[in-house]
Amino acid sequence: MFRLAHISDVHLGPLPDVTYRDLASKRMVGYVNWQRNRSRHHHDGIVDTIVADLKAQAPDHLAVTGDLVNLALDGEIQLARLWLETLGAPADVSVVPGNHDAYVPGAFDKACHAWAPWMDGDGSHGPVGRHTFPYLRVRKNVALIGVSTARATAPFMASGFFREGQAARLARILEETGKRGLFRVVMIHHPPVRGAVGQHKRLFGIGKFQSLVRRYGTELVLHGHSHLPTLHWISGPTGQVPVVGVAAAGQAPGGHKPAAQFNLVDISGEPGDWSVRLTRRGLSGPAMPPAEIGTVDLMAMAGRAKATVRS
């Protein structure tokens, strides 16, 4: 069995010192939002509690699907690297960037440089950048495929982008790993299903992504961005593919979104006969330790999913 843990939308705090020059951009909007909302509901104590419980479950690998930071300040990006070092060896932790990690022009490149050991593929020796996504890591019989949808956008927008170049590279990876009989997990920040988030937060390229899944298949998609523990389905060549979201890892109880959670995905079996069990663990209230919230058999649900497919 291969146990994969999944967290997202950590939004590490508190913010480092912010200068007026830092705020002469979209960051002004994000800074106001942090002061009014995120600073009250996202903090390191919650993240530390979730990570401690996650490690106690002894996963083989950890997927982090973006939004490690808030305003993509230089200090935030460096602090996030230090935090990644506490999670485990880079070979055991895979990261994809989110829209907050590419909050303003230039931030994406800085994040790729700082977090490169957690965002490069097997056998990669060059610098990590926009054109190295998607990357591929193979652990036992599981293919971990990291897609980037992160890009700087205008104020009040949190859109993601999945375009032709990355689509062509993803097609090759899905085809190759499918022929090898691997259990393919696509890690992506923005949910690749329609209606999962508001229009200003949506992914451009949903149709392109889903057409690849219909043609080449994948066994599982993990995403963040919505801050919700969701389960959607999209069509694959042989059945329905689960698309799994997760509550924000830094969300304190009492907000309008669910308190912090993480996913555990237990994978066993072989091609054509996979067994996949999804367990959600997290906080259920103030001063309460993390606990199991629910468990589902994804492969059993896939057979009943046609009526609920989101396209």
What are the residues whose beta carbons fall under 8 Å from the beta carbon of 71, sequence distance 6 or more? 15, 18, 22, 27, 30, 31, 34, 100, 103, 104
**CATH T-level topology, domain 2-308:** Purple Acid Phosphatase; chain A, domain 2 (3.60.21)
**The pLDDT of residue 45 is above 80:** yes
Residue-wise pLDDT for 58-76, tens only, equals 999 999 999 999 988 998 9
Buried b (16+ CB within 10 A) or exposed e, 68-89: bbbbbbeebbebbbebbeebee
- Mean pLDDT for the stretch of residues 255-265: 93
Residue 67 and residue 10 in contact, taking contact as beta carbons nearer than 8 Å = yes
Q: How far apart are CA 265 and CA 248, in angstroms?
A: 17
What pLDDT is attached to residue 306? 55
pTM over 0.85, yes/no? yes
Residue 240 and residue 302 in contact, taking contact as beta carbons nearer than 8 Å = yes
Rg (CA), the chain: 18
| pLDDT, mean over the chain | 90
